[in-house]
Amino acid sequence: GRPTQETAYDINNLYTVKGMVNRFKENEHYSVILSTNNVNDRGFGRGGRGGNGMTQSSMGGFSLAKNLGEEVEKNKYQFQIGGGLRFFHNDSDVQSQTASETFLEKGSRNSFSNSRSQSNNESLRVNADLRLEWRPDTMTDIIFRPSVSHSKSNNASNNLSATFDQDPYETILDKYADEGYEPLDSAWTDDSRINYNSRQSAGGNESTSVNGRLQINRKFNSEGRNLTLTLNGGYSTSESFSNSTSFTRFYRNDSTSTINRYNTTPSKTYNYNTRIMWSEPLWTATFLQLSYQFSYRYNNSDRSTYNLPDVLDNWSLPEWILPDDYERYRSEELSRFATYENMDHDITAQLRLIREKYNMNVGFTLLPQHSKMNYQYMGYNIDTVRTVFNFTPTMNFRYRWSKQTSLRINYRGRSSQPSMTDLLPITDDSDPLNITKGNPGLKPTFNNSLSVQFQDFKVERLQNISANLRLNNTLNSIVNKITYNEETGGRESQPTNLDGWWSNWSAGAGIAYNTALPNQRYKVSSSTNANYNYQEGYVRTKTDDNSFPLAATRSVTLSERLTGTYQNDWLEITLQGSLNYNRARNNLQPTANRDTYIFSYGPSTNIQLPWWNIKISSDIGMNSRRGFSEPEFNTDELIWNAQVSKSFLAQNAATVSVQFYDILGQQSNVSRIVNATMRSDTWYNTVN
């Protein structure tokens, strides 16, 4: 079941406070913002709540904008100055429970993994920026934007996990229900269990960065000929540490593995780039844009790893204690030193056509890249250089029948290179459950993305229709070849390229329609979407030859949302219903095929009491899930929210509101991920 929750959030202790003060004078503007809450509010001005876990967040800031000198053009002054100072603080408690399944080849049992974790993360960030703009004349604009940022964070986590060769929630749990066991209990000794792992970790990071941007734009005439020069630069340093302890028991060979490790990683990065762009009018409403950019980036990191004495017993982890003499436990093999230098050139040409009925941009980008890397890890000392050439074509087209009816077609091709560390012939077995290998033979990938959008709006009917089509595919897509060890429950992964145009592709379509009925008191709307994903991968359990069975997962997602609304001068009532259906099929293990449904329905209302300037809002809906792997994820939750607000002062300039979320306390958070080789269902705690 779900983890026992010792939450610090009580219904009587939930709060959110926000405030903003603005002062406007002629050519001046000053603002002060303060906000604090512990209900997962995403921030001032954005509203709503989101994110997993329970988060206390605070933010504050001061900003200014001021015009100086003469007015060069309307509302554009010779000098402008602006900037701000902001701070952000977050403290989160995230609990999760995951049930996943790895699809193995025919003749082998699928692998099932269950985990339960809790993490605490605290961060503090302060940043400041300044914007200086100078217009010496109507044809020249110079902008300088320096900024500085400092952040500090700390984190800690606990995790329990286990691997089985049967689904413990479908075939095993019933046998132990009377004994009160659940799959992550250490006392579980069923033959289906392959391994058990318990981990603790703690860490922190402190970083500082300084950046600057200078942009100079010069117009040469009113026909569109202009030159833009941009210079960027930045420098950052960081210091991080982490400590982790792990105990793993392997049941099939009756062995254990204990890890007690401490890492420190100082790093520094600096970068700069310069870009020059020229726009030239060729003839009426036709422009040629040419640009060149050179970028340089340097990164240096030196991770020291210390293998500390084993202080763990079989099933429990003690509080972290770093020995005074930890320096003598430094592991030369596991410590890692790396420097990266990247020099990139970006050459872009684009033709722009602006016509009465249509606009079109068509062009390409050439990306020569030169990289150097020095890498010391696992006994390897590698000094390597790589030179690659990337190509990116683009096309954007828009046709307008009228201001209300238009068609857009966008295409983008993008090539990308594998990471240099993936190309290294290194086997990293520091984690016995997740062994990784590099592949020097990796090839670059190329992604194609095409989208078509249609929009039509009829003002007199308050009617809107929009439709879209999407298509994506990746050539030489990089996936991991996974070798699953049936004895330990661990896996070895190595990146490789897939062949063909259609080894990794997706397609989607959507249509939305809303309209008012003739008397305009009634409105209806509908939103329909369909998506198809095809993903390939490699997975095997046998290692007696070099063959890898090809795993392929086809998933279809269909969604529909339908609403109907009645509205008059003081009352608005809406009925809504939605359905999200996901169908996943795997070629290796048909028994792993799943169909999940998420559906909701219910009313909402807004009542305006004009004589008191009071507004009452409420919505209630039944949210249901079906088809998820763990029975506790298949729930019916009745969610009721309400709000009362009152406006006052001249022209209702101030509003006080009281908001109630999930009054019945039934909301939870469940998500699903499906790819070629596995599916995973996860539950998170949340603020109700």
DSSP at 171: I
State residue 314's pLDDT score. Answer: 38
Strands (E), 627-684: 636-648, 654-660, 669-674, 678-684
Q: Looking at residue 182, what is its pLDDT? A: 66
| Interval 439-458: pLDDT, tens | 998 989 999 999 999 999 99
Confidence band, pLDDT 50/70/90 cuts, at residue 54: confident
Summarised one tens digit per residue, pLDDT across range 234-273 is: 999 999 999 888 889 898 888 988 888 999 999 999 999 9
* pLDDT bracket for residue 47 (50, 70, 90): very low
pLDDT of residue 2 exceeding 70, the answer is no
For residues 117 and 533, give the distance between their C-alpha atoms in angstroms, rounded to a whole number: 30
Q: What pLDDT was estimated at residue 144?
A: 97
Phi, psi of 519 (to 5 degrees): -85, -5
Question: What digits encode the pLDDT tens for the residues 95-151?
Answer: 988 888 888 877 677 888 889 999 999 999 999 999 999 999 889 999 999 999 999
What is the structure's pLDDT at 5? Answer: 32
Amino acid found at 494:
Q
| CA torsion angle 625 629 633 634 (round to 10) | 40
Mapped onto helix, strand or coil, the DSSP state of residue 423 is coil
Other C-beta atoms lying within 10 Å of the C-beta of residue 454: 16
* Burial grade of 366 (CB within 10 A; 0-12, 13-18, 19 or more): middle
pLDDT at 45 exceeding the cut of 80: no
Could you tell me if 217 and 185 are in contact, meaning their C-beta atoms sit under 8 angstroms apart?
no
Locate tokens 């799943």: which residue?
Answer: 594
Per-residue pLDDT at 420 exceeds 90:
no
Evaluate whether 651 touches 69 at the Cβ level (below 8 Å): no
Q: What radius of gyration do the chain's Cα atoms show?
A: 29
Closest by alpha carbon to 464, among 417, 527, 509, 410? 527
According to the model, what pLDDT value does residue 597 have? 92
Q: How many angstroms separate the Cα of 181 from the Cα of each of 1, 116, 316, 477? A: 10, 15, 18, 43
Residue 395 has which token pair?
A: 């096309």
Beta strands 614-626 and 594-609, pairing class: antiparallel
Distance from C-alpha of 73 to C-alpha of 77, rounded to nearest angstrom: 7
Query: What is the token pair recorded at 495?
Result: 């990146």
- Tens digit of each residue's pLDDT (9 = 90 or more) over 171-193: 655 555 555 556 676 666 677 88
Of the candidate ranges 72-86, 363-377, 598-612, 657-671, the one whose mean pLDDT is the lowest: 657-671
How many CB atoms are located within 10 Å of the residue 175 CB? 12
**In this predicted model, what pLDDT tens digit does every residue of 382-402 receive, in sequence order?**
898 999 888 899 999 999 999
Amino acid at 649: L
Residue type, 3: P
The helix (H) or strand (E) run that includes residue 574 is strand 571-586
SS3 103: coil
The pLDDT, as a whole number, for residue 399 is: 96
Judge contact between 259 and 305, C-beta under 8 A. Answer: no
Of 596, 597, 599, give the one whose Cα is nearest residue 621: 599
Consecutive H or E run containing 425: none
3-state secondary structure 530-550: EEEEEEEEEEECCCCCCCCCE
- Tell me: pLDDT of 10 over 60: no
- Name every residue whose Cβ is closer than 8 Å to that of residue 497 and which is 6 or more positions away in sequence: 442, 443, 445, 476, 477, 478
The CB density around residue 192, as the number of other CB atoms within 10 Å, is 19
- Give pairs for 661-668: CB < 8 Å, separation 24+: 661/39, 661/49, 661/687, 661/688, 662/688, 664/638, 664/639, 664/640, 665/11, 666/637, 666/638, 666/639, 667/623, 667/637, 667/639, 668/635, 668/637
Instruction: Indicate the pTM of the whole model.
Output: 0.80
Strand ranges inside 74-192, DSSP E: 76-102, 111-137, 140-164
Separation of alpha carbons 21 and 30, rounded Å? 8
Contacts of 316 (CB under 8 A, 6+ apart): 198
Average pLDDT over residues 148-177: 82
Decide if 660 contacts 671 (C-beta within 8 A).
Answer: no
**Location of structure tokens 């792997």:** 629
What confidence tens digit (pLDDT) does each residue in 500-531 have? 778 899 999 999 999 998 888 999 999 999 99
Tens of pLDDT, residue by residue over 586-638, are: 887 776 688 999 999 999 999 998 778 899 999 999 999 998 877 777 889 99
Residue 432 has pLDDT above 90, yes or no: no
Side-chain half-sphere exposure of 328, counting CA atoms within 13 A: 4
Distance (Å, whole) CA 452 – CA 309: 60
DSSP letter assigned to residue 182: -
